[in-house]
Structure 1
Amino acid sequence: MAVTFAATPRAHPSTVPAKRGPRGRALRRGLTGWAFAGPATVIVVGLSIFPAVWAFFISRAKWNGIAPATMVGWGNYQKLLQDPDMIAATRHTLILTAIFVPGSIVLGILIAVALNQKIKLIGFYRTCIFVPYVASAAATGILANFVFNPQFGAANDILRTLGLPQSQFLENQHLAIYIICLILLWGEVGFTTVIYLAALQDIPRELVEAAVVDGASKWKVFRHVTLPELRPVTVFVAVWQTITAMQLFDLIYTTTRGGPLNSTQTVVYYIYELAFQTQRLGYGAAAAYLLFIVTMVLSLGVILYGRRRGSEVF
């Protein structure tokens, strides 16, 4: 009996799966990455870049958000340079920045050095320093209103206990901006402390030990070893805190609302009043762009100064 074997059909070359090459794997990785990052990128572009471009066109128009806009070119910017309210708000913002930025750097370094010591309950102390930074600015402002209340505030209670004259604090037009700066320091110093504490722990112990062996005192070690090693971090902190001070709004809103007599009105709060209270959207957008330019110039100045001193952070 003859047995026949059927020939196995050969697969067509086009049906054989091709081996995935390096380009295919790279394309697959790229598509996978964009599948994760794509939605976030669309959100960032939609909520930041597009509104910024749109705001620029609004800044060159006179518009209240309802009636048709009237193009005025650079007229809004020219008016801002002569606006007494804008000039006053800029002065208040610069005063706040000039006090807050160096103060947060100095306090951050000193507290970080203290918290870098081996003492009991060090974790508890570090947590206490950082808690005000985690709290919202709204909560900080509400708490500050109670502390500095002229009738029943804790600040005046302390002054009465010490036999000192009481103060109006946030109701005093000559004192309110400095009280705001004090509140801002209390809320933000935790950030600079944590940054400097991490930088202190990254300083090589060999440098400190070599300086001690050479007979350097603690002050000389701090001045000639610690501070130079902290210089790049200081540049970063200065830029970050400058942006924080220039864009301060929430603390002003929850404490003084720009008062008394506009003595604490910052640029951002003035922009808020222009855009959302008086409906001068074009004028407010122009003020926002001027604030952006000034903030960028100050930040670049700090960065260039740091690079000239040998501290390249960005």
Structure 2
Amino acid sequence: MALTFAATPRTHTPPPAQRGPRGRALRRNLTGWAFAGPATAIVIGLSIFPAVWAFFISRAKWNGIAPATQVGWRNYQLLLQDPDMIAATKHTLLLTALFVPGSIVLGIVIAIALNQKIRLIGFYRTCIFVPYVASAAATGILAGFVFNPQFGVANDVLRHLGLPQQQFLENQHQAIYIICLIALWGEVGFTTVIYLAALQDIPKDLIEAARMDGASKWRVFRHVTLPELRPVTVFAAIWQTITAMQLFDLIYTTTRGGPLNSTQTIVYYIYELAFQTQRLGYGAAAAYLLFIVTLLLSLLVIWYSRRRGSEVF
């Protein structure tokens, strides 16, 4: 007599991590944090934590060796009356007022020139961007030789043109303008590239329609090109403002804040306070004041751009 056995169906139990939508979402989140977690920890450890710690240092009198003495907001109050800080602020604002419009105007002009169909255009675009990629310290060292009053190339050119020679970086009235010129040479490649990308992104139909309506090249540029470049201009203004207000390495490699502190900016003054005179609390307070001013200027530019109808951020 043959016996037959009915096969009982086997039920598959899903693993706990795959049960339902919540389990799948949890697994995806854990996978994402496994990749992003180390980078997030590095960012917090190298930027956010030091920034918070610097705020507590700014409310203390500390030289980095002896125990810190809490002074509250006294460092900030002294900074507002510090003549060296006021002078450094004036130099920084002057540098910013010259550098930001200059980099934007030169960026637009060079980008329009490089947007044409000419031979070796790739080579010209590379040459414009190379100074921006180069180290600012190397740029400063090279500029020190170019503008040297005794054997520099700049005075040699003036001599051949029959013009009087200049002291350049050794003249307290000329040094800040030469610093601005060097900074423009190194940073104009950035604004040129972003304006060049924006020009190539403008719909050609708009330009062709304006030309068919009889608009001249100037009117096309003024009423079509410039409005399309407005969001990029807002971004460039904010970025270049931050760059100018935090300029340090170029000044360090050329003038060291001289002559007679005529090129001493806020960042270089902070460097002297913290690392030369060991006034770490006072220097941290100056750094936080610079951060507040930079943030307010950026918010002001964003607010003005939105009021004019340019949504950038």
TM-score range, shorter chain: over 0.9
- TM-superposed CA distance for 1:151, in Å, is 1.1
Deviations 1:218-273 (A, max 9, x none): 01000000000000100000000000000000101111100111100000000000
- TM-superposed CA distance for 1:28, in Å, is 1.3
- TM-superposed CA distance for 1:3, in Å, is 5.1
Residue equivalent to 1:16: 13
Distance, in Å, in 2 between the alignment partners of 1:302 and 1:128 is 31
Q: Describe how 1:277-288 pairs up with structure 2 within 5 A.
A: 277-288=276-287
Gaps of 5+ in 1: none
- TM-superposed CA distance for 1:111, in Å, is 0.4
Partner AA of 2:111 in structure 1: A
Residue equivalent to 2:268: 269
Count of residue pairs brought into register by the alignment: 311
- TM-superposed CA distance for 1:67, in Å, is 0.5
Distance, in Å, in 2 between the alignment partners of 1:218 and 1:260 is 46
Residue equivalent to 1:192: 191
RMSD: 1.4
Distance, in Å, in 1 between the alignment partners of 2:8 and 2:116 is 80
Residue equivalent to 1:251: 250
Residue equivalent to 1:292: 291
Residue equivalent to 2:302: 303
Q: Describe how 1:1-314 pairs up with structure 2 within 5 A.
A: 2=1, 16-17=13-14, 20-314=19-313
- 1:209/1:10 Cα in 2 relative to 1: closer, same or farther (>3 Å)? closer
Report the secondary structure of 2:125's partner residue: helix
- TM-superposed CA distance for 1:27, in Å, is 1.4
Normalising by structure 2, report the TM-score. Answer: 0.96
- TM-superposed CA distance for 1:98, in Å, is 0.1
- TM-superposed CA distance for 1:9, in Å, is 7.7
Partner AA of 1:210 in structure 2: A
Partner AA of 1:16 in structure 2: T
Distance, in Å, in 2 between the alignment partners of 1:10 and 1:215 is 81
Distance, in Å, in 2 between the alignment partners of 1:251 and 1:309 is 35
- TM-superposed CA distance for 1:30, in Å, is 1.1
- TM-superposed CA distance for 1:10, in Å, is 7.6
Distance, in Å, in 1 between the alignment partners of 2:104 and 2:70 is 44
Report the secondary structure of 1:155's partner residue: helix
Distance, in Å, in 2 between the alignment partners of 1:10 and 1:309 is 70
Distance, in Å, in 2 between the alignment partners of 1:80 and 1:5 is 96
- TM-superposed CA distance for 1:22, in Å, is 2.1
Normalising by structure 1, report the TM-score. Answer: 0.96
